[in-house]
C-alpha cells in the first residue's frame, strides 16, 4: 500500500508540473505584449468539498485557494465552513493561514462551529514557530464570539510574556479586540498594557501604545516609569509606532510639564556635542535647567530631530505638532526644510503640508521667510493649493529680505492678470495683505494695484479698487494724490462696482483740507449723468452730495439763512454746493428705485434744518474704523492642533472623534521628576533555567577561596584535598553533604513530575539519583572550571 500511495503522489506531482509547463508555454507565445490570463473555470461545490476533504496537502491547499478566491469576489462561501475548519490542525503553514482567513470572515455567522476550532488554535499558542503563535493569538482575538472572551484574555496574558517580540506585538494588537469583545476584561487588560509599555523591544512598543490609546487613555500615570525609555526607543520604532508614541508623549508633556518652563526656554538651541551620546540623560539634565526647560521635556525634544528625515509625511507632521505645542521657538527652525520637502509630494500630500505650514506660519512666520520661493505658484497647482501658497507668501512677506519682497510683489501682480477669476481675486487680496503687514511697502503695492484699474477685466478692477480703498483708509494722509488719480479714472471706468468704490473714496475724503479738495468738482461732473448711472453708483453719488453739503454746513451757517424747500425753486444767489445737493436730491426723489428714493428723503430731512445738522454729522461724517484683513486661516483654524484632520476642514465643520490637546498643567499640580525614575523589573519570559550540580559546587568553591590576580602572578588556590574546615566541617564533608542535598532535591522533583498532569520530558541535565561520585573527582572537575 505504501508503494501504491507513493506512486499516486508521483503521478499527481507530474500532472501539476505538466499543467504548469503548458501554462508557461502558452504565455511565451505572446512575447512582448501583456495578456490577461483568463481565470480558471469555476469549480463546482462538490469538487471543492472533495478537495477540502482530501488526504493530500496539495489538494487541500488548492481547495482553500479556490474558496478564498471566491470570498475576494464577494461570493458566499459559508457552506464550506465544516470542511475548512477541520483543516485547522494541519501542520502546513500555508494551510493554516488560509483557514485562519476563512475563520475570521465567517466565525461570527457560525459561532457554534467556530468554537470547535478554539482548542486547536489555543494549542497553537505553544507551537515552536513564533509565526504560528502570533497567528493563533491574532485569530483568537479576531473571532468575534463573546463566549470565548475569557479564553482570549488568558491567551493574551500568556503571549505577553512570550520570548518572541513578534508574538508580544501580536498580543498587544489583540488587546483592543478583546476589550471590544468583552469590556469586563478591562482590569486584566490594563495590567497587560502596563507590562507591555515597559517592554525593552522597540518592535512591541508601537502596538503597546496603540493598545493604551484604545483601552485606558486616561491612565496617564502608567507612562511615568517608562517615559524616558520610550523617548529613547522612539528613533528605532517603525513609522506607525512613532506616530502613536509621539501623540502619547505630546499629551503626556502637556499634562506633566508646566507651561512656564517652556516659555522661559532658551532663545538659541544648543547643539549636543562632546563624548556624551545623543540620548544621554546627563546631557539633558545639565543643559535643561540652564535653558529654563524641564530636562525630561528636553529629552523628548532632542529625540525628535532624526524623525524629521522620515520617509513618512505623517511622522514629520507629528514632530511638527510636538514642537509647535511644546517647544520654544528656537526648536522650530529645524521644521522648515522637512515640511517644505513635502511640497514635492503628490497633490493630496501637498495640500495637507501647506495647510499645516500656513497654520505654523501664523505664529512663527520668520522660520519660513528664507524659503519663500517654495511658495511660488505652479501651473499645475489646484485652486486650493494656489490659495494656500498665496496666503503663505503674504505671511512671510514682512520678514523676507528686500529682494524677496520685490519678487513676491512681482509674482502677485502677475497672478492678478490671470484668466482664473478666483486666482485674480486672491492675488489682489494678497497684495492688500502685504501692504497691511508692511506699511513701508504700501506705496509699491498701491502702484501695482493702480495699474489694474484700467484693465478690461471687470473682476480685476473691482477687486483692485476694493483693496486700494482699504490701503488708503489705513494711511489717509499719505495717499491724498492717489484719491485724485482715482477721481480722474472715473472718466474711463465703466464697471459699476469700480465707479461706486471710487466715488465712495472721494466722498470719504470730502472734508480734507477744510473742503479745498476735488470732491465738489467730482460731484458737479457726476450730477450731469446721474440719471444714466447704475443703482449702486447713484447711491454713492447721493452719499457724496450729502457729505459735501454737510461739510459745507459745518464750515458756515449761511446756508441756513435760506433753508432749502422742496416746493420752491432754488435761488440763483445760493452757493453751488447747496444747489448741487438740491438738484441731485430732486433727481433721486423721482428715481424708480425704492432704496434711492428713501435715502434721498432721509438726507433731505437731516440737512434741511439747523437742529438736525449735528445728527447728520454723526451719521454721515463719523470716522470709520481702519479696515483690517486677517489671514483667511486665522479665524478658520484658530485653536486647532497641528497635523489633525480638524485642521484640514476648519472649525466650521465638525470632525467626529477629534480631541484637542489638554491644557498645560499648573505648577502646583505638576508631578515631580521622581515619578519618571525607571523601575527595575524582571519580565517573566518563558524560558527553562538549567543548572548543573557541578556548577553549584563551583560557585561554592569560589565563595570559599576566590582567586586573587596580582600584577605578575596569581595567588595559589588552597589545597582542596586537605581537611581545612569550613563552618566547622572539612571541605570533603561539606561537598558530600551538598551531594546528598542535591539527590534529595532531585527525588522531590521526580515526585512532583509524576503528580503533574502534563507529560513533559525531563531535562537532560538532571542527575540520576543512583549515581555516586567520589569527593576527589568532584574536586578535580570543579578545579577545571575555575578561572585561570
Give 731's pLDDT tier (boundaries 50, 70, 90): very low
3-class SS of residue 756 = coil
pLDDT at residue 621 greater than cutoff 50: yes
What CA dihedral angle connects 152, 158, 161 and 165, to 10 degrees? -50
719 vs 649, higher pLDDT: 649
- What per-residue confidence (pLDDT) applies to 683? 46
- What per-residue confidence (pLDDT) applies to 171? 95
Give 505's pLDDT tier (boundaries 50, 70, 90): confident
Distance CA 24, CA 624 (A): 84
pLDDT at residue 7 greater than cutoff 50: yes
| The pairing of beta strand 729-730 with beta strand 725-726 | antiparallel
Q: Which three cell numbers stand for residue 451?
A: 495699474
Mean pLDDT of 504-522: 79
Q: What is the CA radius of gyration of the chain?
A: 43
Give 773's pLDDT tier (boundaries 50, 70, 90): very low
Mean pLDDT of 339-351: 94
pLDDT at residue 663 greater than cutoff 80: yes
Q: Among 368, 298, 290, which residue's Cα sits nearest to residue 333? A: 368
pLDDT tens for each residue of 287-321? 333 346 889 999 999 999 999 999 999 999 999 99
Measured between alpha carbons, how far is residue 542 from residues 530, 578, 584, 604, 613 in Å? Answer: 9, 13, 7, 11, 17
pLDDT tens for each residue of 441-459? 888 888 888 888 877 777 7
pLDDT at residue 67 greater than cutoff 60: yes
Give 689's pLDDT tier (boundaries 50, 70, 90): very low
CB 335 within 8 A of CB 360: yes
For residue 272, the number of C-alpha atoms closer than 13 Å in the C-beta half-sphere is: 20
Distance CA 237, CA 230 (A): 10
Distance CA 215, CA 222 (A): 12
CB 548 within 8 A of CB 580: yes
Helical H segments across 451-575, by residue range: 458-474, 480-488, 496-508, 519-528, 535-555
pLDDT tens for each residue of 571-616? 555 778 888 999 999 999 988 999 999 999 999 888 887 777 788 8
Mean pLDDT of 544-569: 68
Distance CA 435, CA 365 (A): 16
Measured at the CA of 596, the angle between CA 595 and CA 601, to 5 degrees, comes to: 100
CB 102 within 8 A of CB 135: no
pLDDT at residue 704 greater than cutoff 80: no
Q: What is the mean pLDDT of the chain?
A: 78
Give 371's pLDDT tier (boundaries 50, 70, 90): very high
Query: Which burial class, exposed, middle or buried, applies to 208 when counting CB atoms under 10 A from its CB (0-12, 13-18, 19+)?
Result: buried
Residue keyed to cell 488708503: 472
Q: Where are the domains of the chain?
A: 224-270+277-326+659-689, 493-630, 694-743+771-788
Give 341's pLDDT tier (boundaries 50, 70, 90): very high
pLDDT at residue 564 greater than cutoff 90: no
- What per-residue confidence (pLDDT) applies to 165? 94
> Quick count: other Cβ atoms within 10 Å of Cβ 123?
11
Bridge partners, residue 88, by sequence: none
Distance CA 214, CA 1 (A): 57
pLDDT at residue 54 greater than cutoff 60: yes
- What per-residue confidence (pLDDT) applies to 571? 52
pLDDT at residue 481 greater than cutoff 60: yes
Distance CA 368, CA 390 (A): 14
Q: What are phi and psi of 575, to 5 degrees?
A: -65, 150
Mean pLDDT of 758-765: 40
- What per-residue confidence (pLDDT) applies to 3? 60
Measured at the CA of 696, the angle between CA 692 and CA 697, to 5 degrees, comes to: 115
- What per-residue confidence (pLDDT) applies to 403? 92
Burial letters 384-394, b for 16+ CB under 10 A, else e: ebbbbbbbbbb
**pLDDT over 70 for what percent of the chain?**
73
Give 89's pLDDT tier (boundaries 50, 70, 90): confident
Give 376's pLDDT tier (boundaries 50, 70, 90): very high
CB 151 within 8 A of CB 122: yes
- What per-residue confidence (pLDDT) applies to 404? 93
3-class SS of residue 665 = strand
Give 408's pLDDT tier (boundaries 50, 70, 90): very high
**pLDDT over 90 for what percent of the chain?**
37
Q: Which three cell numbers stand for residue 779?
A: 574536586
pLDDT at residue 357 greater than cutoff 90: yes
- What per-residue confidence (pLDDT) applies to 696? 44
pLDDT at residue 548 greater than cutoff 70: yes
Model's pTM, two decimal places?
0.73
Q: Which of 415-419, 458-462, 478-482 has the highest mean pLDDT?
A: 415-419
Q: What are phi and psi of 665, to 5 degrees?
A: -75, 145
Mean pLDDT of 391-402: 93
pLDDT tens for each residue of 420-446? 888 988 999 999 999 888 888 888 888
- Give helix 383-396 / helix 402-415 axis angle, nearest 10°: 150
Q: Which three cell numbers stand for residue 705?
A: 577561596
Amino acid at each position: 500500500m505504501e508503494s501504491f500511495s507513493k506512486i499516486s503522489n508521483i503521478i499527481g506531482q507530474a500532472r501539476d508540473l505538466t499543467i504548469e509547463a503548458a501554462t508557461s508555454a502558452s504565455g511565451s507565445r505572446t512575447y512582448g505584449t501583456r495578456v490577461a490570463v483568463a481565470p480558471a473555470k469555476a469549480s463546482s461545490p462538490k469538487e471543492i468539498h472533495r478537495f477540502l476533504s482530501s488526504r493530500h496537502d496539495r489538494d487541500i491547499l488548492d481547495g482553500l485557494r479556490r474558496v478564498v478566491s471566491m470570498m475576494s469576489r464577494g461570493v458566499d462561501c459559508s457552506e464550506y465552513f465544516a470542511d475548512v475548519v477541520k483543516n485547522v490542525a494541519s501542520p502546513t503553514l500555508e494551510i493554516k493561514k488560509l483557514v485562519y482567513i476563512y475563520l475570521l470572515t465567517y466565525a461570527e455567522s457560525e459561532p457554534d462551529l467556530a468554537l470547535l476550532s478554539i482548542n486547536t488554535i489555543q494549542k497553537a499558542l505553544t507551537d515552536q514557530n513564533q509565526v504560528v503563535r502570533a497567528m493563533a493569538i491574532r485569530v483568537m482575538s479576531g473571532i468575534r464570539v463573546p463566549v470565548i472572551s475569557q479564553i482570549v484574555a488568558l491567551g493574551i496574558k500568556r503571549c505577553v510574556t512570550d520570548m518572541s517580540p513578534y508574538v508580544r506585538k501580536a498580543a498587544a494588537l489583540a488587546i483592543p479586540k478583546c476589550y471590544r469583545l468583552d469590556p469586563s476584561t478591562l482590569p486584566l487588560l490594563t495590567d497587560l498594557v502596563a507590562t507591555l509599555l515597559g517592554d525593552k523591544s522597540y518592535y512591541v512598543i508601537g502596538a503597546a501604545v496603540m493598545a493604551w490609546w484604545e483601552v485606558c487613555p486616561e491612565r496617564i500615570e502608567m507612562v511615568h516609569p517608562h517615559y524616558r525609555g520610550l523617548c529613547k526607543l522612539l528613533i528605532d520604532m517603525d513609522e506607525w509606532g512613532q506616530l502613536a508614541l509621539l501623540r502619547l508623549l505630546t499629551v503626556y508633556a502637556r499634562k506633566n510639564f508646566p507651561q512656564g518652563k517652556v516659555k522661559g526656554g532658551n532663545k538659541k538651541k544648543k547643539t549636543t556635542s562632546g563624548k556624551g551620546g545623543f540620548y544621554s540623560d546627563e546631557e539633558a539634565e545639565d543643559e535643561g535647567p540652564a535653558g529654563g526647560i524641564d530636562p525630561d521635556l528636553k529629552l523628548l525634544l532632542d529625540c525628535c530631530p532624526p524623525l524629521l528625515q522620515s520617509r513618512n509625511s505623517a511622522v514629520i507632521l507629528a514632530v511638527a505638532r510636538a514642537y509647535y505645542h511644546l517647544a520654544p521657538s528656537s526648536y522650530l527652525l529645524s521644521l522648515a526644510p522637512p515640511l517644505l520637502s513635502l511640497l514635492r509630494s503628490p497633490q493630496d500630500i501637498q495640500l495637507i503640508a501647506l495647510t499645516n505650514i500656513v497654520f505654523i506660519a501664523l505664529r512663527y512666520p520668520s522660520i519660513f521667510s528664507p524659503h519663500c520661493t517654495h511658495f511660488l505658484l505652479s501651473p499645475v497647482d489646484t485652486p486650493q493649493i494656489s490659495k494656500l501658497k498665496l496666503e503663505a507668501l503674504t505671511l512671510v512677506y514682512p520678514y523676507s529680505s528686500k529682494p524677496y519682497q520685490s519678487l513676491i510683489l512681482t509674482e502677485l501682480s502677475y497672478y492678478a492678470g490671470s484668466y482664473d477669476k478666483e486666482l485674480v481675486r486672491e492675488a489682489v487680496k494678497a497684495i492688500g495683505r502685504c501692504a497691511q503687514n508692511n506699511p513701508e511697502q504700501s506705496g509699491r503695492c498701491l502702484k501695482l494695484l493702480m495699474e489694474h484699474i484700467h484693465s478690461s477685466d471687470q473682476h480685476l478692477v473691482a477687486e483692485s479698487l476694493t483693496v486700494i480703498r482699504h490701503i488708503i483708509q489705513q494711511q489717509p494722509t499719505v495717499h491724498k494724490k492717489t484719491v485724485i488719480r482715482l477721481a480722474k479714472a472715473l472718466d474711463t471706468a465703466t464697471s459699476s462696482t469700480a465707479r461706486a468704490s471710487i466715488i465712495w473714496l472721494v466722498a470719504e475724503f470730502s472734508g480734507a483740507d477744510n473742503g479745498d479738495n476735488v470732491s465738489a468738482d467730482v460731484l458737479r461732473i457726476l450730477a450731469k449723468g446721474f440719471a444714466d448711472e447704475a443703482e449702486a453708483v447713484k447711491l454713492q453719488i447721493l452719499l457724496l452730495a450729502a457729505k459735501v453739503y454737510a461739510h459745507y454746513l459745518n464750515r458756515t451757517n449761511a446756508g441756513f439763512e435760506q433753508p432749502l424747500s422742496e416746493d420752491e425753486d432754488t435761488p440763483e444767489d445760493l452757493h453751488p454746493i447747496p444747489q448741487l445737493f438740491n438738484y441731485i436730491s430732486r433727481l433721486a426723489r423721482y428715481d424708480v428705485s425704492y432704496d434711492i428714493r428713501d435715502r434721498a428723503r432721509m438726507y433731505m430731512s437731516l440737512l434741511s434744518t439747523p437742529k438736525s445738522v449735528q445728527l447728520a454729522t454723526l451719521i454721515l461724517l463719523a470716522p470709520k474704523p481702519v479696515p483690517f484683513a486677517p489671514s483667511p486661516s486665522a479665524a478658520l483654524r484658530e485653536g486647532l492642533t497641528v497635523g489633525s484632520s480638524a485642521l484640514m476642514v476648519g472649525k466650521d465643520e465638525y470632525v467626529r472623534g477629534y480631541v484637542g490637546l489638554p491644557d498645560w498643567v499648573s505648577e502646583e499640580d505638576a508631578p515631580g521628576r521622581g515619578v519618571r525614575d525607571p523601575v527595575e523589573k524582571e519580565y517573566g519570559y518563558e524560558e527553562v533555567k538549567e543548572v548543573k550540580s557541578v556548577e553549584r559546587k563551583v560557585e561554592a568553591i569560589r565563595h570559599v577561596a576566590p582567586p586573587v590576580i596580582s600584577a605578575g602572578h596569581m595567588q595559589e588556590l588552597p589545597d582542596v584535598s586537605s581537611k581545612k574546615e569550613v563552618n566547622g566541617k572539612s571541605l570533603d564533608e561539606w561537598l558530600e553533604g551538598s551531594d546528598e542535598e542535591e539527590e534529595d532535591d532531585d527525588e522531590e522533583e521526580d515526585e512532583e513530575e509524576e503528580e503533574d498532569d502534563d507529560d513533559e520530558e525531563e531535562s537532560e541535565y538532571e542527575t540520576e539519583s543512583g549515581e555516586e561520585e567520589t569527593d576527589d573527582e568532584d574536586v578535580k572537575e570543579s578545579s577545571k572550571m575555575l578561572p585561570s
